[in-house]
Chains A and B, each alone.
Chain A
Amino acid sequence: MSAESQLSRRTSIGAWLQERLGLDGLQYPVPAHANALPYTLGGVTLAGFVILLLTGIYLAQFYHPHPDDAHASVVYIITGAPFGDLVRSVHFWTAQIVTGTVLLHMLRVLLSGAYKRPREVNWYIGLGLLAVTLGLVFTGSVLKFDQEGLEALQHNKEAARVIGALGGWFSVEFSRSVPLLTRLYDGHVTILPLIFGLLIIAHAFLVKQHGISPKVTPEAVSRATAGEGGSRFTTHLRRMAGYGLIVLALALALGLLWPAPLGQPGVAGAEVTKPWWMFVWLFPAEEAWGSRALATVPVILGGLLALVPIADRSPYLSPARRKGLLLAAALILIALVASGLVGAFKPVEAHLQ
């Protein structure tokens, strides 16, 4: 086949797809700075969630969400299911990477003032997505039902007791016919992904409506940029896919080198492990203030994040014009990191009543 006929064939396939799918609609303008990595972190996270969804569907074929069988089924995934250990490891490492990119994405939004008018609602949707992401990580850590998972479940029950009526779903009493572990599995594979899907649609819709926040310069002010820019959304989408493939490569490499951990079968009532890095910062607070810290500290932090668009209502994006808020945010971040380091290096102590 000649080069000319190949080109002609490709053009006709492109025209056929264009007529039916209207893909040209994705070529709307976006600012060139939207293609820089810091502004692509949200897209990288979304690509990571696609990997989590696909690997999660595979793992669900072999996982048994009952307290008596859960740990044994994870052992089977590792030792018996085809590619089970590798797929589980990719799922585990992608979850770690995605949690990191979510936090970095939020930090970028905070630093670049992208929460300001008219993007306040999208900031709150983003907080919802952060909560759902942490919920998915937490429920995922419980499901393996090893000692660490069982202790996480016990902390879950304790936090549910502290928050009273709101914690009802997380208590054993909510359903005597279905174990709490099974309901957490339901949350992990149906409820939380559904909420995530709805929130991410709203998040993407509002990004499209307002456009990417303007580039940060000393005089830049927050405004809608939809329809402006020297690049195209398809370029942004292509780079998102590229970074998504790098996340997959990284998760595969990490999974081969360090397969996802699994502890000994859990024994109720004991505390001999520590939570994963995204929760270990709560350890010192729990030690100081008891179980109530498990519920109140995250609520206070969430409340402070919710106050950001209300506390900082100036239109300026430059960090130099937002020193007060960013200094407060930096101090809180340093406290969280320090608390995490203390929690990570301190010997394990029993906290639960």
Chain B
Amino acid sequence: MNPRTYVKISLAAAIIALIPTMVGHAHGEAVIGVSPAVAAAGTSITVTGTEMEPGEVFQLFLESASTSIELGEAAAEGEGEEGGFVVTITLPPDLTAGSYTLRASTEEGETAVADLTVTAASAEADPGPAMAQEPSGEPHLLDRTKPAGEIAGAASLALASALLGVWLIRRKDPSP
């Protein structure tokens, strides 16, 4: 194959690989955001929609793996192609704590989603992964002490592995 053909094939492959990205940007897909991202059941959240066509009406749903609750609707306002909405919604007070997806959909099938973590309305709620009030990059503090036998066993296994490994690497081939 001559060099020109190679170049042509490479260019064609690069263009094909980038098509999905271009399509994604050309569409100007609707985007929604939720504030705050962690809210207690019964409190209010603000849903902000952008990159929408003015006049589009979005149905808002709060979904988890097992439930889908309709929260109402929001109409995009604005000029040209710069539409959007800002709506304040009160979460149901009996909403179960956990991770949810807030979905905004039009009848035509246009959809945007955002994550929302719902905490229990009561301060006495059970502690659990979904109940963290403040995001933290700190380590989860746990008792990680191990029995002396486990440490000795693991250290012995490490030493034996290392010695056997070095022996296998350094061993000379037997004479033919």
Contacts and interface: CB of A to CB of B under 8 A. Distances in A.
A265 B115 contact: no
A162 interface: yes
A240 to B, nearest CB: 9
Interface stretch (B52-60, B87-95, B148-156): B148-156
Contacts of B131: 265
Contact of B38 (A79, A164, A269): A269
Interface in A210-226: none
Query: What interface size band does chain A fall in?
Result: 35 or more
B42 interface: no
Contact of B168 (A242, A296, A303, A313): A242
Interface string B8-47: 0010011001101101110101010110111000000000
A329 interface: no
Main secondary structure of the interface of A (DSSP, over half): helix
A71 B21 contact: no
A274 B132 CA distance: 19
Interface string A60-83: 000000111111100100110001
Nearest to A240: B168
A78 B144 contact: yes
A148 B63 contact: no
A315 interface: no
A340 interface: no
Nearest to B159: A249
Contacts of B6: 310
B108 interface: no
Nearest to A87: B154
A145 B132 CA distance: 13
B14 A303 contact: yes
B17, B38, B128, B134 interface centre (most CB from chain A within 10 Å): B17
Interface string A299-336: 10001001100100100000000000000000000000
Given A179-B65, A270-B37, 4 more contacts: A67-B130, A85-B146, A246-B166, A249-B157
